[in-house]
């Protein structure tokens, strides 16, 4: 089997993507619950696994390019699977399809969590703006000194 090394790398990548998916779901829960302790617990592991996925992806790319050179084909999945023969080619194509689905799921979860983080930052910014406005009100219960009003308004802007 000529594509054994590539398939092994892709299987490792799929296993890592499953762990990343679970961590991204944990991150979603932590963001939804606004639980910073949980976020801090999830983030280092997530960063490590994303780095591992990138390393596996780079190694698989190099392996696929080497396999294409050895087979004397263009560096495309279609050409590679056609040159490998029916059984091995279809096995490699099925594995590639699984990788495409898994990578789309990881990307979807990352976009979702990024949107949650951006929404939280917008909420915090709005809250800080309201606090700054209340602190500089001339007749409000939180009236501050005149020296701090320009600083607070600069921070809110």
Region of 35 on the Ramachandran plot (φ > 0 left; ψ -120 to 50 alpha; else beta): beta
Q: What is the pLDDT of residues 114-147, one digit of tens each?
A: 999 999 889 888 888 888 887 777 776 655 555 5
Q: Read off the pLDDT of residues 13-42 as tens digits, 9 standing for 90 and up.
A: 999 999 999 999 999 999 999 999 999 999
User: pLDDT digits over 41-89, tens only?
Assistant: 999 999 999 999 999 999 999 999 999 999 999 988 999 999 998 999 9
pLDDT of residue 143: 57
Query: What's residue 155's pLDDT?
Result: 56
pLDDT of residue 132: 80
The Cα 128–Cα 112 span in angstroms is 24
Tell me which fold the domain 4-113 belongs to.
Methane Monooxygenase Hydroxylase; Chain G, domain 1 (1.20.58)
Which sequence spans correspond to the domains of the chain? 4-113
State yes or no: pLDDT of 4 exceeds 60. Answer: yes
3-class DSSP assignment, residue 34: coil
- Among candidate residues 124, 122, 143, the one with its CA nearest the CA of residue 134: 143
Q: Check if the beta carbon of residue 73 is closer than 8 Å to that of residue 83.
A: yes
């Amino acid at each position: 089997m000529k594509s054994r090394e590539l398939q092994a790398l892709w299987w490792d990548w799929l296993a890592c993507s499953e762990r990343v998916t679970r961590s991204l779901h944990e991150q979603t829960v932590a963001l939804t619950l606004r639980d910073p302790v949980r976020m801090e617990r999830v983030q280092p592991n997530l960063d490590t696994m994303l780095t591992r996925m990138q390393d596996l992806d780079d190694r698989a790319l190099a392996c696929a390019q080497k396999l294409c050179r050895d087979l004397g084909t263009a560096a495309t999945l279609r050409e590679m699977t056609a040159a490998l023969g029916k059984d091995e080619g279809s096995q490699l194509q099925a594995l590639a399809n699984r990788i495409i689905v898994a990578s789309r799921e990881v990307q979807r979860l990352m976009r979702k969590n990024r949107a949650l983080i951006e929404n939280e930052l917008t909420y915090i910014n709005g809250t800080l703006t309201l606090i700054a406005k209340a602190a500089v009100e001339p007749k409000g219960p939180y009236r501050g000194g005149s020296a701090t009003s320009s600083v607070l308004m600069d921070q809110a802007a």
